[in-house]
Amino acid sequence: AYVVTDACIKCKYTDCVEVCPVDCFREGPNFLAIDPDECIDCSLCVAECPVGAIYPEDDVPKGQEAFIPLNAELARNWPSIVERIDPLPDHADWADVKDKLKYLER
């Protein structure tokens, strides 16, 4: 499955959800998760993300491995999102910030 990683937190551009053929994105307050049971590994979402937050499970950047089980866990509890919405108001301020996991809201 593909995995949403650190860069998405506090940005949540949601361009990714529009292209997913199997509607496997789930929405939390300041992050999206991919349901790994639904993802068909088409890779279409990768190029849509303005901050490059999406990776295949076997190519997640070093140090971000925790996002693999985290996507699975969060996807179980969050509702589906299939249409693009406005990014979070201060997305531009957070787009280049690293290590945002501590800001994740559930």
Encoding tokens for residue 15? 């361009």
- The answer to the question of residue 77 lying near ligand SF4 (CB under 6 A) is no
Encoding tokens for residue 3? 């995995």
Smallest separation (angstroms) from ligand F3S to the CB of 37: 18
Smallest separation (angstroms) from ligand SF4 to the CB of 89: 25
Please report where in the chains the tokens 């068909």 appear, as a residue: 40
- The answer to the question of residue 85 lying near ligand SF4 (CB under 6 A) is no
Residue 77 interacts, among ligand SF4, ligand F3S, none and using kind-specific CB cut-offs from 5 to 8 Å, with none
Residue 85 interacts, among ligand SF4, ligand F3S, none and using kind-specific CB cut-offs from 5 to 8 Å, with none
Instruction: Please name the residues in contact with 78: beta carbons below 8 A apart, sequence gap of 6 or more.
Output: 26, 27, 28, 33
- Which residues 28-67 are close enough to bind ligand SF4 by CB under 6 A? 34, 39-45
Distance CA 51, CA 96 (A): 8
Going by C-alpha positions, the residue among 85, 90, 66 that lies closest to residue 3 is 66
- Residues found near ligand SF4 in the complex (CB under 6 A): 2, 19-20, 22, 24, 34, 39-45
